[in-house]
Amino acid sequence: MDNTTLLKKYWNELYPEAGTDRLESFLKDLEIYPRREEDVKDWYKDAIVYALYVDLFNEDFNGLADKLDYLQGLGVSCLWLLPILDSPMRDAGFDIKNYDRIRPSLLGLSEDASREQQQAVSGSFLQEAHQRGIRVIFDIAINHSSDQHPWFREACKSEDNPYRDYYIWSKDTSLYGEARLLFKGIEDSNWEPLGDWYYFHRFFSFQPDLNYKNPEVLLAMSRNLLYWQRMGVDGFRADAIPYLWKEEGTVCENLPKTHTVVKFFRAVLDQVKPGTFLLAEACQKPTEVVKYLGEGDECHAAYHFPLMPMMFKAIAMEDGRPVKHTLSPAVTPDIPPESQWLTFLRVHDELSLERVYVSEEDRKFIHEHYCHRPEWDFRVGEGISARLSELMQRDERKIALAYSLMLTLTGTPVVYYGDEFGKLNDEAYYKEQIQLTGKDDSRFLVRGRIDWQQLEADLKDPDNFHARVFELISTMLNMRKDEKAFGRGNTEFLNIKTGEGETASSALVYLRTYNNEKLLVINNLSPQPLTVNNPFPDNDLALLFPHDFLVDDDGLSFHFGPHGFVWLKVV
């Protein structure tokens, strides 16, 4: 079925009473966009993604362009730019004021800079990134806007304003009463008073939810995506995707028409440039998340949220069973062949322990083992606001082990800016943002600026903590980027024996297989040394990456130091 036919089908599912005049006008506008094909449609399967805030990374797009060689040297092939669109910055840019403008400060421009000036700076950056083989995606919050967005400011003027219906209003705050409170401990209601009315929001009170029951909202957001696609952006991270459609009597998450909205966006993008990447930010159980991949007709990829905390749990338990169980068919369903999981250890948010996908037992265990300071607590025990190096108590062996898991297990890895050199929590930035936003949001601890002058001095000292972490992680990233089996292969977990013939429970061992390529990974999850038998004594094993690993001269025994690991190619 061609994209135009699909768009008409989805439109009728969403708005059976609306007629098709507005859709036909939109489809006619689409004809002005020349159709372009993506060079490699499934490039994201082999990518190493690097997530950053432009201003916190290096001031603005010019500063980011200056660091493209650094990123290329790390092995990065895709930049995920955390919110760059025009915003009052009360929620790190997820509160969008204008969908077709980048914040002028990120472009090194004045507030009154023209659209042409914006396009010149952002276009130049995209060109430089693409010349280095680095694709660029960015965040777009499609569930809500800032209360400073022109749509909302108009909506507030009167009940009959044409933009009033871009948002959800009620005098009865029991409406959508089954929708859970996402920001427990920060917000106390999903309704915010304004005059005699209340408006609905799932996140901060200054982020009113958009009303996708109004077809004009769907078309307006589609035009926003098309604008950036035409500018050369390679894809979008669709923020807060499960909450788009609301129905009374439901929890207002993962509703069928939410999926129809996503299919509409995908068909719009495919009509102009097939292969434009769409990434689902769906903080849900895998059985729900896979639905945002559809049958290859929704998002191209989604985060594997449950795997992240289970990697931390496995290290704390010194046992790989949490990872094995999470990646088993009982938890992680099959996905379409063209789809992909994205895996991560840390991103801009907290280490999430939402009971959507962790049990109360898991939540309690992980929180007790990793929330080393009370101020790291987020959402009353449902998360931990700390960078990876802090969670691992600045132990580069544990940091490297965690990266070994993320880089070699299922999916495409996401590196959070600064983790490659063990960036620490930034308490000064946290306090600064509380003053700016008026919200005590402990996630600001995991953000903060990079001091490049200080970092360059640190990296020159081989005994410096940051230099030691950087040496490990940068080498691992560059080794990983050349092995397709890590991004595309099947995963088979193996048991391995100690010299005494017992199963080594602290060893997480797996084989990644793609076509004729086989990669063996052995991770010692224990802080104690470990000796195990070679599981492939009859094969030649080529060393890809060892960390605190030795092999006997006869090749029959492997020795690991505390939290040591090895990546091997089975020949």
- Tell me whether residue 281 is one of the annotated catalytic residues: yes
Q: Look at phi and psi of residue 351 and say left if phi exceeds 0, alpha if psi is from -120 to 50, else beta.
A: beta
The 8-class DSSP code of residue 44 comes to G
Query: Which of the following is catalytic: 91, 239, 298, 362?
Result: 239
Q: At what angle do helices 307-317 and 360-370 cross, to 10 degrees?
A: 60
What does the alpha-carbon distance between residue 461 and residue 475 come to, in Å, rounded to a whole number?
Answer: 17
Q: What span, in angstroms and rounded, lies between the C-alpha atoms of 255 and 237?
A: 20
Q: In whole angstroms, what is the distance from residue 100 CA to residue 91 CA? A: 18
What is the SS3 assignment for 210?
strand
What distance in Å separates the CA atoms of residue 402 and residue 221, rounded to the nearest whole number? 38
Look at residues 340, 315, 125, 366 and name the one whose alpha carbon lies nearest to residue 233: 125
Contact 253, 143 (CB under 8 A): no
Known active-site residue 154: no
Q: List the structure tokens of 345.
A: 């250890």
Which is catalytic among the residues 46, 281, 382, 458? 281
Q: Residue 286 in contact with residue 304, Cβ under 8 Å? A: yes
List the structure tokens of 488: 């595309």
Q: Taking the CA atoms of the chain, what radius of gyration do you get in angstroms?
A: 24
Distance CA 519, CA 491 (A): 10
433 is written with which tokens? 């943002």
SS3 per-residue string spanning 243-255: HCCCCCCCCCCCC
DSSP H helices, 356-451, are 360-370, 388-391, 396-408, 427-437
Handedness of CA 232, 234, 104, 192 (dihedral sign): positive
User: Which residues 6+ apart lie within 8 Å of 16 measured at CB?
Assistant: none
Sequence-ordered list of residues with C-beta below 8 angstroms from that of 116, at least 6 positions apart, any chain: none
Q: Is the dihedral of CA 147, 153, 154, 156 positive or negative?
A: positive
Q: Any idea which residue has 């901060």 for tokens?
A: 204
Active-site residue list: 239, 281
